[in-house]
């Protein structure tokens, strides 16, 4: 059955469209209604509708902005049908640039016109589905996830070196051409929360988070990372201003977002902003600062900057994960089940042997969760499956009210992760090698080394070398040379290149070294190879 979503800020229009035709006769079902584009976007992610009937103009996020966002994310679906009260050709023209299938005037809408428009959309839907079935689906979501993981590593200071940071940044195409950075720790609060309706609470939080994500970037360059169901982190990218102007820009942006959230959702936000730093690798310091002062936020102090706090103020709400961070990182990367179990046990024993504050325990569990999602391959899927029996999944952590409950949650995470590492150890290591081999082939024209590639994949050079020797026929360096020489042979046979030109194009340090490697692998020198192929021709 075809899934349809209706997005319109007028309840009467929503009701009218729902009752205008018999949807089941068209083999369609309405999966939901949304009052603005931000809510509709959340529902797209949750329900994956095939068709959206959307008003062009809506508060918070318009229908056109929603369609543009889907297009920018390279989504082939859903198919859009636009409604409007404005008979303006420019709207229709813009709507068509976002691959809308039709454009309808509300005042002229009839059952016949709606059915005709839906039939057009179904035809477009069938074309898209056929295209997707004939080709591999693009890994767009994977790219977004990789970027989120990259920013999470920045927040948690998980990069081993500047070289590793630069390698991954370049690989993902992320630009840090800014003069300063700061991290905001934003918490969402509302009197509308109902302790008995977790689904309703989750919908309120996710809708609010989507609004924050959409609006904040209109005032200041940033990247937003959802941390849990009522908290998110904002990395601000700042340029060409002094520190006081930075603060003014950030505060102005947050005030606009705050007003919009309160007007539409009756939601309040509080935001702690860490110190302003000059380097991307100092972002973790700003993040820690923001967490430190977050406990000082209240109704009178909704926005706080770290440098405005008294120097003698002490904070006890943050758990220092630095003692365990490197061991956790290594255990995840190497899929070391025993090491991970020991680390979790040490953390749990540490809390059980003291009388920790609830906020400290929550921060510890939250930080470990964050690392699990970020560092594990398919971390989101793994952790989600571990807590599949909970209605709110791993986010059930934020429903817990005591330290004992949090420790039990950590035990469940520990046991699930250990089981996963044990069962997937061999296949994971083999997959690393396969991914590295693909990377080498895709970047065969570049200068490649064990250190460079290890940095890209966030593992140690020694570990990569050991894996390659165990799960591949030849060692790491020999494999790179084989790939390069295969390309060199084609270039010598099919192209009009000189030996030194091929050497340079394939990233060899010199033509002499290229010739040596070529002869070692093929048995003859490049010059004799050219001569031999010329004779054959």
Assess contact for 517 and 508: CB atoms under 8 A: yes
Q: Is-contact 46 18, C-beta < 8 A? A: no
pLDDT in tens, 325-347: 788 888 887 788 899 999 999 88
What is the percent of the chain with per-residue pLDDT over 90, rounded to a whole number?
A: 28
Binning pLDDT at 50, 70 and 90, where does residue 472 land?
confident
Q: Which of 322, 151, 175 is nearest to 226 (CA)?
A: 151
Of 131, 141, 222, which Cα lies nearest the Cα of 176? 222
Phi-psi region of 335 (alpha: psi -120 to 50; beta: other; left: phi over 0): left
Is 278 buried (19+), middle (13-18) or exposed (0-12) by CB count in 10 A?
exposed
Task: Tally the residues of the chain.
Answer: 537
140: confidence class by pLDDT, cuts 50, 70, 90: very low
Span 69-88, mean pLDDT? 78
Task: State residue 242's pLDDT score.
Answer: 77
* pLDDT at residue 143, rounded to an integer: 66
Report pLDDT digits (tens) over 253-276: 999 889 888 887 788 899 999 999
CA-to-CA dists, residue 119 to 18, 28, 234, angstroms: 16, 11, 42
Please tell me the least confidently modeled range out of 9-13, 49-53, 241-245, 382-386: 241-245
Exposure letters 328-343 (e unless 16+ CB within 10 A, then b): bbbbbbbbbbebbbeb
* The pair of three-digit structure tokens given for residue 206, joined into one six-digit string: 């996710």
* Mean pLDDT calculated for residue range 413-434: 85
What average pLDDT score do residues 461-474 get?
A: 86
pLDDT at residue number 99: 61
Q: How confident is the model at residue 185 (pLDDT cuts 50, 70, 90)?
A: very high
What is the average per-residue pLDDT within 212-227?
Answer: 83
Q: Give me the sheet containing 303-305, strands edge to edge.
A: 222-228, 231-238, 180-190, 267-273, 303-305
* 524 has pLDDT over 80: yes
Average pLDDT over residues 410-433: 86
Per the prediction, the chain carries an average pLDDT of: 83
State the sign of the Cα–Cα–Cα–Cα dihedral 485, 486, 492, 498. negative
Query: Which range has the worst mean pLDDT, 36-40, 428-432, 496-500, 507-511?
Result: 428-432
Percent of the chain predicted with pLDDT > 70 = 87
Given pLDDT bands bounded at 50, 70 and 90, which one contains residue 423?
confident
Q: What is the pLDDT of residue 115?
A: 92
Quick: pLDDT tens for 341-371.
999 998 888 887 766 677 778 878 888 888 8
Structure tokens at 146: 């990789």
Res 138: pLDDT: 40
Which pLDDT score, from 0 to 100, does residue 370 have? Answer: 81
């Amino acid at each position: 059955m075809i899934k349809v979503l209706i997005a319109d800020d007028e309840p009467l229009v929503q009701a009218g469209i729902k009752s205008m035709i018999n949807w089941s006769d068209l083999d369609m079902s309405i999966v939901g209604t949304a009052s603005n584009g931000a809510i509709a976007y959340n529902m797209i992610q949750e329900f994956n509708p095939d068709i959206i009937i959307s008003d062009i103009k809506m508060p918070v996020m318009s229908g056109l902005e929603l369609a543009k966002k889907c297009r920018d994310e390279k989504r082939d679906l859903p198919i859009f049908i636009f409604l409007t009260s404005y008979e303006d050709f420019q709207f229709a023209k813009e709507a068509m640039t976002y691959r809308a299938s039709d454009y309808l005037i509300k005042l002229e809408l009839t059952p016949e016109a709606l059915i005709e428009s839906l039939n057009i959309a179904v035809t477009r839907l069938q074309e898209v589905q056929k295209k997707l079935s004939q080709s591999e689906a693009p890994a767009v979501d994977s790219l977004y996830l990789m970027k989120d993981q990259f920013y999470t590593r920045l927040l948690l200071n998980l990069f081993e070196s500047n070289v590793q940071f630069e390698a991954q940044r370049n690989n993902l195409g992320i630009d840090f051409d800014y003069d300063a950075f700061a991290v905001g720790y934003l918490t969402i609060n509302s009197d509308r929360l109902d302790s008995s309706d977790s689904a309703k609470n989750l919908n309120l939080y996710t809708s609010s988070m989507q609004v924050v994500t959409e609006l904040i970037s209109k005032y200041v360059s940033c990247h937003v990372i959802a941390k849990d169901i009522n908290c998110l982190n904002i990395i601000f990218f700042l340029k060409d201003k002094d520190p006081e102007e930075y603060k003014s820009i950030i505060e102005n942006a947050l005030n606009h977002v705050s007003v919009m959230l309160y007007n539409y959702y009756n939601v309040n936000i509080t935001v702690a902003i860490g110190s302003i730093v000059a380097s991307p690798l100092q972002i973790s310091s700003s993040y820690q600062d923001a967490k430190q002062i977050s406990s000082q936020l209240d109704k009178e102090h909704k926005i706080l900057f770290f440098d405005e706090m008294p120097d003698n103020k002490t904070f006890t709400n943050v758990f220092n994960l630095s003692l365990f961070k490197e061991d956790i990182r290594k255990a995840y990367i190497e899929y070391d089940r025993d090491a991970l179990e020991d680390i979790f046990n040490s953390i749990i024993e540490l809390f059980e042997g003291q009388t920790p504050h609830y906020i400290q325990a929550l921060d510890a569990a939250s930080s470990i969760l964050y690392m699990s999602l970020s560092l594990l391959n398919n971390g989101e899927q793994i952790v989600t499956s571990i807590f599949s029996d909970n209605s709110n999944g791993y986010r059930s952590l934020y429903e817990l009210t005591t330290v004992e409950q949090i420790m039990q949650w950590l035990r469940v995470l520990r046991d699930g992760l250990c089981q996963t590492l044990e069962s997937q150890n061999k296949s994971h290591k083999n997959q690393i090698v396969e991914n590295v081999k693909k990377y080498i082939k895709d970047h065969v024209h570049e200068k490649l080394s064990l250190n460079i590639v290890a940095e890209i994949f966030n593992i140690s050079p020694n570990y990569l070398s050991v894996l390659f020797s165990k799960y591949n026929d030849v060692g790491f360096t020999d494999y790179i040379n084989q790939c390069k020489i295969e390309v060199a042979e084609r270039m010598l046979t099919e192209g009009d290149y000189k030996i030194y030109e091929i050497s340079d194009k394939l990233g060899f340090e010199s033509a002499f070294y290229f010739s040596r490697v070529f002869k070692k692998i093929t048995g003859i020198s490049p010059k004799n190879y050219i001569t031999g192929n010329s004779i054959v021709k």
